Copies of this chain bind each other. A is one copy, B any other.
């Protein structure tokens, strides 16, 4: 069924999806905060997808006016680094209608909770239903504005709804635009499924000299040494423990890193995470960042990922000390505040402060505290 879609964010993913959805017959408008980007797309008049998809799609519906972009849209897709979600919410709060579905793609760690709380902070108090995915459907990189290279399209992505009791109502809409969606019980499942916070910050901060040497090296394949692989496994057990405490069933909606790398990349039978990453061909040409102060491995994966995992984990009585230590090291060594303010998520900014595991589970289900 043809759907009316608003996409918020005209980066790699936003442009790719704008073209992709339009190609599949949907009505699409695209918002971005930067008029340079918006003007360039409209002037070009098309978006070209290369790589795994090869299409040139007429497109000139980009705008810096969020109210105009979302007007009449059935679904509003937020495709942004999670560090930008609050800024999006601030504008969205002024023009959102109660019948519109927000779809955060991907949600990162507890993205729907953060969006709900941010909308309220900025004055939107009506009911809202938020969907979120665990990952982006595409692995993609923008070559230039209006030209996006699609490395791969995933076979499936997980999608949840908040409150989860409304999932059935939105399934049809989501399936119409992303048939690959596999629905899970709640946003807790999509949030805990985000393994970037477990996988990225550790080898980044514990190789800071190597990274700042400017040497080019395959990041995950080289930097995750035997020692770091062992430590990452300890961090992963903490992630799993948080998921279990929040009601997810092991091997049903909660998978450890070995299982994820089997499913995602076909890496089987490895005894250590070091061996897993070394065997993962997809990582061969993904090089280390050269500056940790701007790298999303820190700015996004710690502040918006590891920090909420640790903060919520501690609140519900899970030992997350191994992960906490990595947060502390990132903050101290880089001299960054990653646990307070706009650029992080914690129990407070997620609207979860003081809640028990049971209360969080119920909140995810019903939206009621």
Contacts and interface: CB of A to CB of B under 8 A. Distances in A.
Interface in A203-254: 203, 205-213, 222-228, 230-231
Contact of A209 (B223, B230, B332, B333): B223
A292 interface: yes
Identify whether the interface residues of A are mostly helix, strand, loop, or mixed.
helix
A341 interface: no
Interface residues of A, number: 29
Given A231-B333, A325-B329, A332-B325, A225 B213 contact: yes
B207 A209 contact: yes
Given A325-B329, A329-B329, A208 B225 contact: yes
A193 B180 CA distance: 64
A322 interface: yes
Given A322-B332, A325-B328, A328-B325, A208 B209 contact: no
A207 B211 CA distance: 9
Given A209-B222, A228-B333, A325-B332, 15 more contacts: A206-B208, A206-B329, A206-B333, A209-B223, A209-B224, A209-B227, A209-B228, A210-B223, A213-B225, A227-B334, A231-B332, A321-B332, A325-B328, A325-B329, A328-B328
Interface of A: 203, 205-213, 222-228, 230-231, 292, 321-322, 325, 328-329, 332-335
